[in-house]
A = this chain, B = another copy of it.
Amino acid sequence: MNWIYTLDLFGTCIFAISGVLTAIDKRFDLVGSIVIGFVTAIGGGTLRDVLIGRFPVGWLNDRNYLLAILVGALAAFLFRKIVVQFRKSFFLFDTIGIGLFTILGIKIALAYQLRIENCILMGIISACFGGVIRDVLTNEIPLIFRKEIYATACLIGGIIYLLLNAFSQFDDLNIVIAIGTVILIRYASIKYGWSLNFSSD
């Protein structure tokens, strides 16, 4: 699990950066920005843990998550202008984080013996609701509901992971394929302008 744990901390750090950057854009003060970074990074996993009844919630048990968030916040403050230039790499990292958080959420839900459909929901919640809470706190309509095939990518990645899981023992490989699927869908959706919008026009 070592590379997964490392990637998890890395994803947490990336999510924190995205939260802090949003907060700075909104002219939040220092502590407020860190709070937004914090909530973006751990919001999804926290909601998942609360729904399942896993207490105290995850990040309270492992100091490294807080450290990853503080490193992310520091990076966001120091390298604000640079980060914006590396938008494409950042987007890739963010997508890796989303894919991984989906799979980790599913694995935790499986360990709590939730039904298969609830496991997928927990994966989506883990990956997406940090950003939802960030957008609610900064008074925006959550981006993921509108602009990108974001939750959909998590949904499909999660289903693929569970399918692979049923047929193969190579968990590490399954995870890599599932995350790869999430990345592919998100890139393709932007490249080809996919959207699943059913509103009237």
Contacts and interface: CB of A to CB of B under 8 A. Distances in A.
Interface stretch (A4-12, A30-38, A98-106, A157-165): A30-38
Given A115-B63, A142-B137, A145-B137, A155 B31 contact: yes
Interface in A20-39: 23-33, 35-36
B60 A29 contact: no
A70 to B, nearest CB: 10
Nearest to A62: B115
Given A46-B51, A63-B115, A145 B29 contact: yes
Given A63-B117, A132-B137, A196 B31 contact: yes
A89 interface: no
Contacts of A139: 139-141
Total identical chains: 3
Given A51-B46, A51-B56, A146 B29 contact: yes
Interface string A48-73: 00111101110010010010000000
Interface of A: 23-33, 35-36, 46, 50-53, 55-57, 60, 63, 66, 77, 112, 114-115, 117-118, 132, 136-142, 144-146, 149, 151-152, 155, 195-200
Given A25-B199, A28-B146, A51-B56, 19 more contacts: A26-B145, A28-B199, A29-B197, A29-B198, A30-B197, A31-B145, A31-B151, A31-B152, A32-B145, A35-B151, A50-B51, A52-B55, A52-B60, A53-B56, A66-B117, A66-B118, A132-B137, A137-B142, A138-B141
